[in-house]
Amino acid sequence: MDVLFAVVQAATLALILALLYRPLGDYLARVYSTDRDWKVERGLYRLIGVDPRTEQSWPAYLRGVLAFSAVGVLLVYVLQRAQTVLPYSLGLPPVPEGLSFNTAVSFVTNTNWQSYSPELTMGYTVQLAGLAVQNFVSAAVGIAVTIALVRGFARRGSGTIGNFWVDLFRGSFRLLLPLSVIGAIVLVVGGVIQNFNGFTEVTTLAGGTQHLPGGPVASQEVVKLLGTNGGGFFNVNSAHPFENPTAWTSLFQNVLMLAIPFALPRTFGTMVGSNRQGTAILAVMATLFVVSLTALTALEASGSGTAPELAGGAMEGKEQRFGIFASTLFGSTSTLTSTGAVNSMHDSYTALGGMLPMLNMMLGEVAPGGVGSGLYGMLVLAVIAVFIAGLLVGRTPEYLGKRIGPREIKLASLYILVTPVLVLAGTALSFAIPGVREDVESTSIWNPGVHGMSEVLYAFTSASNNNGSAFAGLTANTPWFNTALGVAMLLGRFIPIVLVLALAGSLAAQDKVPATAGTLPTHRPQFVGLLVGVTVLVTALTYFPVLTLGPLAEGLS
Amino acid sequence: MSTTRTTVRTHWVALRALLVLTAVLGLAYPLVITLAGQVALPAQANGSLVRDTDGDVIGSTLIGQSFTDADGAPLPEWFQSRPSAAGDGYDAGASSGSNLGPENADLVAAIAERKAQVAESDGVDEADVPADAVTASGSGLDPHISPDYARVQVDRVAEARGLPVADVLALVEEHVAPRDLGFLGEPTVNVLELNLALATLDGAGVGD
């Protein structure tokens, strides 16, 4: 195989993202900074009973986030349970309670973990009015929270961090909707379907029967990626030819996933009044991305393992039109953001190759991470990095003129503890509770041996980090996984949001400390290196032991 | 209590906001896109359907098909698609990969068996059987095979149809699609399109 193709593909993607960085980042900064509301927005604010010029304290902002998400879970749940009376339900039965709960939580938390096979479970109305709407708004919530944190850094002595409802509507209407319209049309040009045809029965060339699916796919596909959601219209997600028909649509889908997360550092730099700070964060994200992509591509191209070696290449679970390179690019992008879409089956990756998507999620999805969640995750790590540097040289740590005191460092430390606790506890409990263990081993696990343990670890890693990708062999539609993963998704989404908004509030209230000779510069390569190191170190120390039980044991034996 | 009142009020705002957003993003937006797709790009929006010479829909260029008999045995006169884990094979209502891991004994056995089967039916060395011929795709609906796998099958198809090998090989080469834009993905051969062209080549018609 020719490595050159992989390099040119990655370079093309990098070029497109580089061209988008400034205009999209600056546009985002304007969207969330301007005082001007559109006329139609003013009408909508009146309709929902909100004064767009009222600023909120962090607890009020948080109440908005939580109330909106709670109502969202409820609506998606009810839509699924009431499927039989909804139009365009394709004759499908109501979704069972446990699965409805799991799916509702999954889409509201921007995870899009799917315990079900969509074409056999969800009618068009649930997909459109329930799932696709959450694809938009859960992404808009993520960006709103990150913008609130950025305001915390930018403001001085302020009791407020913005207005959640305004941020929510602007993210939906000024950012995601227009980009989705353009993207959906591009996808239809590429061959993604957009209809309400249901299943069409055809007699195939060799005389068999085939039921071709229909559906409003393109409109949902685009926001699945743009909002780093990842929930496919079909079971196999972006490996399905009706979701992702060609190698160029696959590259386009990478652009959709990465555009906003990679532009947000620019937004951050612009809003705190120093673009160099944004560039430094971008450099950290890009470094981690390139290293991870290179490692996964090399591992899959080498094709080690009994089955890939016998077959003559790691093509199990990969589409011919994508080959190895377009598959590993998509897999890396999807797990380094919080998308979790797949265009190849990660369960069938080589043992060490399959560990990479897991590691990407364990990094906390910060390179560049989900829309919004990636930047706030990275800024929390930056706070930790500044604190560590402060300890080393014996000075009070500051970041962007804000003192990182005991309260800030407590919030940041709690933040980085949340997901590891959920991942490790969830995996451990799956094997520690006797009744559950029996069920997990006999019903859920698909591959025997240590690979089966990797499937469970992958599931909790994906759910707790709100990614949604899977070692899809795992049968997760069981009472244990629907409940435990549902809880992991909820806690993995909202505890960090509480901590981030508290951090935003405490930073906004501070005055700026003037920079002195003793201030650590946070825009230089030295700090970029430090932040990369901190990110990797936190992850490695937390997860190395459990990785030795799964993918490392399989890959090195 | 004022906190209770605030909580209730916030949820009331949240509900109204969600309904407004649902109306725009969950109804208006997909309908507009559907309308645009159906008007401007009906072929793609409806699934890139393929018709035979009689005008009947026989499938989609994007969705792979089985070329096997009722028992699942490969029909030698058609180019074969990749192995499929979707239902009983190329079940478009149940897209799926095998999800078998790299050390899974069942997968190893399946690959060995497919390898032997292809080598025997196509008269080539096992070492010359390409990887895509013995592995199931991610979707189970992969419409493509590699150009190498198409070439491996030429002799068998030509013999089964009583056609000159050179003609069948020329047809395969015509159907080799290069990488997108010259560097994205892998070169492919669309099996359904190739077999359709094959059917017209010998005048045997569809479905023989």
Please, which pLDDT band fits residue A519 given cuts at 50, 70 and 90? confident
Task: Report CA dihedral (A316, A318, A322, A328) to the nearest 10 degrees.
Answer: -100
* pLDDT reported for residue B203: 53
% of chain B with per-residue pLDDT over 70: 96
- Does pLDDT of A204 surpass 90? yes
Q: Which helix (H) or strand (E) segment is A392 a member of?
A: helix A373-393
Phi, psi of A310 (to 5 degrees): -65, -40
- Of the candidates A194, A199, A235, which has its C-beta nearest B37's C-beta? A194
B170 and B115 part of one domain: yes
B110 and B22 part of one domain: no
Contacts 24+ apart (CB under 8 A), B153-160: B153/B79, B153/B80, B153/B122, B155/B122, B155/B123, B156/B76, B156/B121, B156/B122, B156/B123, B157/B76, B157/B77, B157/B78, B157/B79, B157/B198, B159/B76, B160/B76, B160/B77
Q: Is residue B80 part of a domain?
A: yes
**Spatial contact of A361 and A354, defined as CB atoms under 8 Å apart:** no
B36 and B65 part of one domain: no
Q: Is residue B107 part of a domain?
A: yes
Whether residue B80 lies within 8 A of chain A, CB to CB, comes out as no
pLDDT digits (tens, 9 = 90+) for A401-439: 999 999 999 999 999 999 999 999 999 999 999 999 999
Q: Is residue B74 part of a domain?
A: yes
Q: Is residue B64 part of a domain?
A: yes
B73 and B108 part of one domain: yes
Radius of gyration, alpha carbons of chain B: 24
* pLDDT reported for residue B207: 41
Number of inter-chain CB pairs under 8 A, A vs B: 362
A451 and B188 within 8 Å at the Cβ level: the answer is no
**Spatial contact of A503 and A150, defined as CB atoms under 8 Å apart:** no
pLDDT digits (tens, 9 = 90+) for B69-127: 988 899 999 999 999 999 999 999 999 999 999 999 999 999 999 999 999 999 999 99
Whether residue B123 lies within 8 A of chain A, CB to CB, comes out as no
B86 and B35 part of one domain: no
* pLDDT reported for residue B83: 97
pLDDT digits (tens, 9 = 90+) for A14-36: 999 999 999 999 999 999 999 99
Cis peptide bond upstream of B143, omega within 30: no
Which two three-digit tokens encode residue A329? Answer: 């690019």
CA distance linking residue A301 with residue A309, whole number of Å:
11
B83 and B166 part of one domain: yes
Mean pLDDT over residues A463-468, rounded? 94
What ipTM does the predicted assembly reach?
0.95
pLDDT digits (tens, 9 = 90+) for A366-401: 999 999 999 999 999 999 999 999 998 888 899 999
Domain count, chain B: 2
B111 and B28 part of one domain: no
B20 and B97 part of one domain: no
B contacts of A190 (beta carbons < 8 Å): 44
CA distance linking residue A363 with residue A288, whole number of Å:
10
Q: Is residue B20 part of a domain?
A: yes
Which A residues, 392 through 451, put their C-beta within 8 Å of a C-beta on chain B? 446-449, 451
Q: Is residue B52 part of a domain?
A: no
CA distances from B70 to A224, A243, A284, B106, B133 (A): 38, 29, 56, 24, 21
pLDDT digits (tens, 9 = 90+) for B47-73: 999 998 888 899 999 999 999 998 889
A311 and B47 within 8 Å at the Cβ level: the answer is no
Whether residue A91 lies within 8 A of chain B, CB to CB, comes out as no
Q: Is residue B51 part of a domain?
A: no
CA distance linking residue A158 with residue B161, whole number of Å:
81
B182 and B118 part of one domain: yes
Average pLDDT, chain A: 95
* pLDDT reported for residue A1: 54
CA distance linking residue A323 with residue A304, whole number of Å:
16
Where are the strands (E) in chain B, listed by range? Answer: 49-51, 57-60, 144-145, 176-177, 188-190
Mean pLDDT over residues A316-331, rounded? 97
Dihedral sign for Cα atoms in the order A370, A328, A259, A342: negative
B26 and B96 part of one domain: no
* pLDDT reported for residue B2: 65
- Of the candidates B22, B37, B140, which has its C-beta nearest A188's C-beta? B37
Q: Is residue B169 part of a domain?
A: yes
**Spatial contact of A180 and A226, defined as CB atoms under 8 Å apart:** yes
Structural domain boundaries in chain A? 1-273, 383-556
Min distance A117 CA to chain B CA atoms (Å): 8
B100 and A447 within 8 Å at the Cβ level: the answer is yes
CA distance linking residue A98 with residue A549, whole number of Å:
30
CA distance linking residue A410 with residue B95, whole number of Å:
47
CA distance linking residue A185 with residue B68, whole number of Å:
37
B14 and B113 part of one domain: no
* pLDDT reported for residue B55: 86
B contacts of A177 (beta carbons < 8 Å): 24-25, 29
- Of the candidates A64, A312, A321, which has its C-beta nearest B186's C-beta? A321
A contacts of B143 (beta carbons < 8 Å): 241
- Does pLDDT of B206 surpass 60? no
Domain that holds residue B34: 4-46
In A34-132, which ranges are continuous DSSP H helix? 39-48, 58-81, 97-108, 118-121, 124-125
B contacts of A3 (beta carbons < 8 Å): none
- Does pLDDT of B208 surpass 50? no
Whether residue A475 lies within 8 A of chain B, CB to CB, comes out as no
